[in-house]
Each structure stands twice: as structure tokens, then as C-alpha cells.
């Protein structure tokens, strides 16, 4: 196990066989997509631009899916393949996007970093580190403004937690009690730079303290733990209790 993997918290809920099968199939789908795409990227030279695989972080996508409804929205960074596939963006259109084809989920114009699926509530795929934190809160504002009880899951990396936009967004999200769950996928590295080399605070969930935002640290290698933590945060957001920061301790196995 990776050194980042925290001790497994006990999981109270008993999940059904169907849930485990769903998680397993989804995680396998993502893993196999990534393995295949990575091979094509390296060997064929037909996939251009940047390429960031989600290999190792699949349990986060799986747990988030069972803890949310289809009407809820996801928005994430450039490491977006896994969450796009989980949310229901067609895998063939994802692969076509990598190849720059017009049949791709962003018409072949976005590539690996900019998958999109408006019809399934997948709001990208963003290459500017941290930009989607503000946009995610904006999506949550839209849900609040329209009077729905939908929530937005806003994903970002540990590197993005160093960006100024996080603090401005946390402030407004708490002030307006926006229905947004901030999910930091802490895989220990911002590309190749370790968290320890860029921050005095290495437990990212503690950043919520300055805004009195509820926060938790979660074993991101466990779909059960992710489901339970996200489930609690989603319930709070639907009941107009505002945002939560969840730090998912995870690890990615590819460069
Ligand atoms: C505003 C901005 N600054 C710098 C970069 C270059 N950059 C690309 S990825 C990255 C690191 C991000 O790390 P993290 O958020 O931990 O995501 P991970 O790669 O681990 O998924 C940086 C600094 C960028 N894309 N945007
Ligand atoms: Mg990272």
C-alpha cells in the first residue's frame, strides 16, 4: 500500500451485492479505459497534447456515484477521464475525444484535459489548476438560485489547494451556504511535487477551519468510505446546510 493510505475507518453501512458489483464494474471500466488509452498515447502518437490518467483513484469516482443522484453535477480538473466515465459520458466519445475526433465528447477540441458531458451533468475537465473550484461554486449557486435541491461535487487536486481561488471560493460558499461538496483528491503530488514541499499544512481538510466549513478526511482507496463521507456531505447540502470539504487520501500509480 502507498505510504499515503490512511488507516481504514470502520464502515457501519452494509452494502448490497449490487452496489459492490456496480463499484467493481465501474472501477474496472475506468482502469481498462485508462490502460488502453495510455498505451495508445505512448505507442501510436495519434493522441496529442497532455494526458493524465486516473489510475489508482477509481474508488473515489465509484463512491461518489452511489452517494449522489444523476441530477447532481460533477466538475473537476484536467485528470478527468475517470469522473467523466463514472458520470455517464459515453466511453466511445471519451476515446474519440483523445483522438481529436468530431465525435468526441468535446467535439475533439478539448482533448484529455477537457472532457465534457452537459447532458449528464459533467461540467468538465479544466486545465487551469484550481479554476474549477470557483466555477463549481458558481454551478452550486445556480442550483440554489433555481430552488432545486441538487448538489455539485467539485473535485480538485492537492496542488490546486495552493491556489488563491480556493480561499475566495470557500469564503463565499460558506457565506451563501452553497450546495457544493469540495473534494480534494490528495494523491500526494502536484504532478511530481510532493505536498510537503509546497505547504506547511499537509492535512488539506484543515484549510476549511478558517471558514468554519465542515470537513473530513477520507480513505479515498475505499469506495465504502467515500460513499459514506460524501453521503453525509450531500445530505447536509440538500438540507441547505452548505458546503463541506472532504480530503480524499488517494494515490495515483502512473506518472
Ligand atoms: C494556474 C496553473 N498553474 C500551473 C499549472 C501547471 N500545472 C499543471 S498540473 C499542475 C499540478 C497540479 O497538481 P494536483 O492539483 O495535485 O493534481 P494531480 O496532477 O495530482 O491530479 C500544475 C502546477 C496549470 N495548469 N495551471
Ligand atoms: Mg495531486
pLDDT at 89 > cutoff 70: yes
- pLDDT, average across residues 15-23: 95
231 falls within a domain: yes
Q: What is the largest CA-CA distance in the chain?
A: 50
Task: Tell me how far apart the alpha carbons of residues 213 and 226 are, in angstroms, rounded to a whole number.
Answer: 19
Domain span at residue 23 reads: 17-249
**Distance from residue 79's CA to the centre of ligand 2 (Å):** 10
- pLDDT value of residue 1: 39
Q: How many domains does the chain have?
A: 1
Instruction: Note the pLDDT tens digit of each residue in 8-18.
Output: 454 556 899 99
3 falls within a domain: no
8 falls within a domain: no
- Which triple of cell numbers denotes residue 69? 443522484
Instruction: Note the pLDDT tens digit of each residue in 168-197.
Output: 999 999 999 999 999 999 999 998 899 999
Q: Which atom of ligand 1 is nearest to the CA of 128?
A: 26
- pLDDT, average across residues 41-62: 94
Q: Strand, coil or helix: what is 126?
A: coil
26 falls within a domain: yes
What confidence category does residue 3 fall into, taking pLDDT thresholds of 50, 70 and 90?
Answer: very low
1 falls within a domain: no
Rounded to the nearest integer, the mean pLDDT of the chain is 94
- pLDDT value of residue 6: 45
Beta bridge partners of 73: 152
pLDDT at 7 > cutoff 70: no
6 falls within a domain: no
CB atoms closer than 10 angstroms to residue 28: 11
What confidence category does residue 254 fall into, taking pLDDT thresholds of 50, 70 and 90?
Answer: confident
Q: Residue length, the chain?
A: 255
Residue 80 vs residues 61, 112, 120, 208, 241: alpha-carbon distances, Å:
10, 7, 14, 24, 28
CATH number of the domain where residue 145 is located: 3.40.50.970
**Distance from residue 122's CA to the centre of ligand 2 (Å):** 21
> DSSP characters for 167-190?
HHHHHHHHHTT-SEEEEEEE-SEE
- pLDDT value of residue 255: 76
173 falls within a domain: yes
The set of protein residues with a Cβ atom below 6 angstroms from ligand 1 is: 77, 79, 127-129, 157-160, 187, 189-191
What confidence category does residue 41 fall into, taking pLDDT thresholds of 50, 70 and 90?
Answer: very high
- pLDDT value of residue 250: 97
- Which triple of cell numbers denotes residue 132? 474549477
- pLDDT value of residue 5: 44
- pLDDT value of residue 13: 62
Residue whose CA is at the smallest distance from ligand 1 atom 5:
129
Query: CA 182: distance to chain centroid?
Result: 9
Instruction: Note the pLDDT tens digit of each residue in 229-251.
Output: 999 999 999 999 999 999 999 99
135 falls within a domain: yes
Using CB atoms within 10 A of its CB, is residue 66 exposed (0-12), middle (13-18) or buried (19+)? middle
Q: Report helix angle 58-66 to 17-43, nearest 10.
A: 140
Mutate to test the pocket of ligand 1, among 58, 129, 157, 163 (most ligand atoms within 8 A of CB): 129
Mutate to test the pocket of ligand 1, among 112, 162, 191 (most ligand atoms within 8 A of CB): 191
Amino acid at each position: 500500500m502507498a505510504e499515503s493510505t490512511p488507516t481504514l475507518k470502520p464502515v457501519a453501512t452494509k452494502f448490497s451485492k449490487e452496489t459492490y458489483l456496480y463499484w467493481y464494474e465501474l472501477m474496472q471500466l475506468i482502469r481498462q479505459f485508462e490502460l488502453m488509452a495510455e498505451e495508445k498515447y505512448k505507442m501510436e502518437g495519434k493522441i496529442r497534447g497532455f494526458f493524465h490518467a486516473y489510475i489508482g483513484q477509481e474508488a473515489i469516482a465509484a463512491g461518489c456515484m452511489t452517494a449522489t443522484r444523476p441530477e447532481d453535477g460533477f466538475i473537476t480538473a484536467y485528470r478527468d477521464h475517470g469522473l467523466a466515465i463514472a458520470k455517464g459520458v459515453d466511453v466511445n466519445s471519451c476515446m474519440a475525444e483523445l483522438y481529436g475526433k468530431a465525435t468526441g465528447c468535446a467535439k475533439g477540441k478539448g482533448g484529455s484535459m477537457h472532457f465534457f458531458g452537459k447532458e449528464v451533468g459533467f461540467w468538465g475537465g479544466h486545465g487551469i489548476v484550481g479554476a474549477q473550484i470557483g466555477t463549481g461554486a458558481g454551478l452550486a449557486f445556480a442550483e440554489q438560485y433555481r430552488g432545486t435541491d441538487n448538489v455539485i461535487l467539485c473535485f480538485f487536486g492537492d496542488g490546486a489547494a495552493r491556489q488563491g481561488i480556493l480561499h475566495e471560493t470557500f469564503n463565499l460558499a460558506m457565506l451563501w451556504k452553497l450546495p457544493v461538496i469540495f473534494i480534494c483528491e490528495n494523491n500526494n503530488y502536484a504532478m511530481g511535487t510532493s505536498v510537503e514541499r509546497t505547504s506547511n499544512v499537509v492535512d488539506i481538510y484543515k484549510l476549511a477551519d478558517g471558514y468554519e466549513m465542515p470537513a473530513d478526511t477520507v480513505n479515498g482507496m475505499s469506495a465504502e468510505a467515500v460513499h459514506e463521507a460524501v453521503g453525509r456531505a450531500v445530505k447536509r447540502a440538500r438540507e441547505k446546510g452548505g458546503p463541506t470539504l472532504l480530503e480524499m487520501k488517494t494515490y495515483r500509480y502512473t506518472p
